Amino acid sequence: MTLTTGLGAGLAAHGVGGSTDLPIPFIYAMVGASWALTISFAVLALAWKEPRFQGSWGAGEPDRRRPWLAVVGMLLTAWVLVALYAGPADPSNGGLQAFYIFVWVGLVPLALVAGHVWRDLSPWRTLTGRGIWTYPERLGYWPAVAGLFAFVWLELASPDPGDVVSVRVWVGVYVAAMLLGGVAFGPRWFDRADPFDVYSAIVARMSPIARGGRLSRNPLRGLTTVPVAPGLVALLAVLLGSTAYDSFSASPFWQGRSLSSLEHTLTLLAFCIVVAVLFVGAAMATGGVTPEQRRAMPGLLAHSLVPIVVGYIFAHYLTYLVEKGQTAFFALLDPLGRGWTPLGDPGVSYVLSEHTSTLAALKVTFVVAGHVLAVIAAHDRALVLLPKAHRLSGQLAMLLLMVAYTFTGLYLLFSV
């Protein structure tokens, strides 16, 4: 984001520090992360001969929403919309801040801690019924892909991401699409087409909270149950590619250029496409399978990208959420911009920015942990999908891709 004043300057930074944040030399972090992935794969290859995380997770549990959370969701949504549409038309608007900070960034830790609670909170699910028609499954996740790309375009490539009018238009179109789609296709529309609902559902597969609020002993088992449908790889590529572009666009190399919104858009799209093409190529680079099985490989291995997305989101946005989130909270307490301070004079605690070594260590840890979990997830699924003669050789391309993703992720986080 490149909001221009006040909070906007902080939004633009996303809490991503420079390489001076690192408590160790940058190259050591890069090499150490790569060795961590390589050693992880070696250990898995030698000691992990049978799949351990395949199977059901939360199967057979009632697929019901919790009514009290639906009421909470309606109230919170109404409050944010009032702030967005009736508040000041500048970056101090509480609805604007909540949209970028709580809805977009806060969605990930919420899903990890509480599971797919977004489904219960969704006001659009509450306001629509069972649907008139059956959702065309051939569309898969592609409507959600379009919605997610529209959001990251607004945030990263539009002429003025902090323009309240632009955000009001975007939210208005989104609300209309969700209500119309919900009326037409019922709950399945939100499972496949609502960008935030789908994002939450996929991240929630890593939560220890299974569907229905029950604890699950192993989140990695939940990760294997991410529903495979058309557009899944593209969906995850948008999430990962847009976050990488966000870091890249903050670099001195990119900031020093005077570029049009079209050029920003094409570069953002290129980042997403490169992530998708590299993953598809690595997933299909194996022998011993039929052409049909090879074409199915990217979708069947796509769940392994989820830990990378989560790890990079935490590394990239942690300071942004913790510190700028305080400002957004106080702004929401004054939704109409009347100067209300019900909790007294607001003060922001820069608990992370003031401890740069700790912050840098957390960033590296999040990135490396996400990639190690991705290697584990991909290896475990490969033991199911690949014939025995190709179980190791068929994973080498994916391992190289994970190492490349790690190098790139750390470089983008600490080179700006």
Question: For the chain, which residues score pLDDT lower than 70?
Answer: 1-32, 43, 45, 47, 55-63, 210-217, 415-416
In a domain? residue 373:
yes
Tell me the C-alpha distance between 21 and 116, whole Å.
34
Query: Looking at residue 121, what is its pLDDT?
Result: 94
- What's the one-letter identity of residue 180? L
Query: Looking at residue 189, what is its pLDDT?
Result: 97
Count: domains in the chain = 1
In a domain? residue 204:
yes
- Structure-token match 């007294």, residue found: 344
Query: Looking at residue 6, what is its pLDDT?
Result: 40
Using alpha carbons only, give the angle 65, 304, 201 rounded to the nearest 5 degrees. 15
Query: Looking at residue 137, what is its pLDDT?
Result: 94
In a domain? residue 368:
yes
| Local structure of 37: helix, strand or coil | helix
In a domain? residue 1:
no
Show the domain range for 13: 7-414
Q: How many CB atoms lie within 10 A of CB 208?
A: 15
In a domain? residue 2:
no
| Global pTM value | 0.89
Query: Looking at residue 118, what is its pLDDT?
Result: 93
Q: How many CB atoms lie within 10 A of CB 63?
A: 10
In a domain? residue 340:
yes
Measure the N-to-C terminal CA separation of the chain; round to a whole number of Å: 15
Helix spans in 302-340 (H): 306-319, 325-332
Query: Looking at residue 94, what is its pLDDT?
Result: 93
Query: Looking at residue 188, what is its pLDDT?
Result: 95
Q: Give the H or E element holding residue 72.
A: helix 67-86
State pLDDT tens for residues 39-81.
Answer: 777 767 676 777 777 755 444 444 577 889 999 999 999 999 9
In a domain? residue 98:
yes
Distance from the Cα of residue 363 to its chain's centroid: 16
In a domain? residue 35:
yes
Helix spans in 186-258 (H): 187-192, 195-203, 219-223, 232-249, 252-255
